[in-house]
Amino acid sequence: MKIVVGHLYPDYLNIYADRGNIAVLARRAAWRGHELEVHTVSVGDPVEPGAHDLLYVGGGQDREQALVAEDLVAKSDGVRAAVDGGAALLAVCGGYQLMGRSYRDFHGGDLPGIGLFPLETVAGETRMIGDVLLECELEPGVVRTLAGFENHAGRTRLDAGAEALGRVVAGFGNDGDSGFEGCRVGRAVGTYLHGPLLPRNPWFADWVLAQALAHRLGEAPVLDPLGDELEQQAHAVSALRARSRGGKR
């Protein structure tokens, strides 16, 4: 089956190897006989509702976010229609911030977001950097750990009742205070975790793939397991580094 990915602003938002997440999805799809077809969606390009099974956006510095923010707002109807129509979405760091309502940068400039996620972000005086470990329950009763690397000045505050991606076991998370990281709205997920995220978290890569396939199939399929020994080792190393930092800061 062909899985169509709309990669938003890869020419602007691609730090800390965020592009590697696409490579992981392509390989894990191919190992199961599927094809990942990636379309670049940059400044001036529309997001056509129904055209993509997954939308992906990576991270960037304040300068790059400022260059794309207004254009992303112009795409907001298309992004919302895609998600409302069952497409999956994964937004990392700067992309995550712009999927909220707004981001106030370090210099006090307000960048508009599209409001897909119920949150707002304000840059703090210091950066929150290091390995981070989460506990996630994306399926009822199934708790898994998610390991990655965070490097952000933004303090992201979720609205009351909003669903976080996970609970912080070690590291900072959204704001260094609430104990939560990321945000989830149905098949749309935002997170600060770089690294890239998916190579060291094969279960989450497969969850994203399954959500993309659900756009075509109507429900998320159960994917055949893969031999993930190396990926599990990478996860274990990252998780150990995060735990050595202690609890949330």
Can you give the C-alpha Rg of the chain in angstroms?
A: 17
| pTM recorded for the entire structure | 0.96
Share of the chain above pLDDT 70, in %: 98
In Å, the largest CA–CA distance within the chain is 48
Residue 19 is predicted with a pLDDT of 86
In a domain, 248, yes or no: no
Across 57-74, average pLDDT: 95
- Above 50 in pLDDT, residue 67? yes
Task: Give CA 104 to chain center in angstroms.
Answer: 20
Distance CA 234, CA 214 (A): 28
217 domain residue, yes or no = yes
pLDDT for position 249: 45
Q: For residue 111, what pLDDT is reported?
A: 96
Integer Cα distance of 69 and 157 in angstroms: 19
Locate the DSSP E strands across the chain: 2-8, 35-41, 54-57, 88-92, 102-104, 110-112, 119-139, 142-158, 166-170, 180-181, 183-185, 188-191
pLDDT at 247: 53
pLDDT at 143 over 60: yes
pLDDT at 215 (0 to 100)? 97
Which residue matches tokens 């691609």? 14
Total number of domains constituting the chain: 1
Residue 143 lies in a domain: yes
Q: Please determine, for residue 149, whether its predicted confidence score (pLDDT) is greater than 60.
A: yes
What residue numbers bound the domain in which 178 lies?
A: 2-243
Q: Is the pLDDT of residue 10 over 50?
A: yes
* 3-class state of residue 217 by DSSP: helix
User: Is residue 19, in this structure, part of any structural domain at all?
Assistant: yes
Looking at residue 7, what is its pLDDT?
97
Counting Cα atoms < 13 Å in the Cβ hemisphere of 192 gives 32
Would you say residue 36 has pLDDT above 60?
yes
Pair of tokens at residue 32: 């199961």
Say whether pLDDT at 220 is over 90: yes
For the residues of 94-151, what is the DSSP string, one character each? Answer: HHHHHTSSEEE-TTSPEEE---SSSEEEEEEEEEEEEEEEEEEEEETTEEEEEEEEEE
Q: How far apart are CA 182 and CA 119, in angstroms?
A: 10
| Mean pLDDT of the region 173-199 | 96
- pLDDT category at 195 given cuts 50, 70, 90 is confident
**pLDDT score of 49:** 86
> Is the confidence at residue 246, as pLDDT, over 80?
no
Could you tell me the CATH number of the domain that includes residue 232?
A: 3.40.50.880
In a domain? residue 91: yes
**Distance (Å) of CA 222 to CA 20, 27, 151:** 24, 17, 33
Q: Does 84 fall in a domain?
A: yes
Residue 43 predicted with pLDDT over 70 = yes
Task: Note the Cα 155 to chain centre separation in Å.
Answer: 16
Q: Does residue 68 form part of some domain?
A: yes
Active-site residue set = 93, 194
- 249 assigned to some structural domain: no
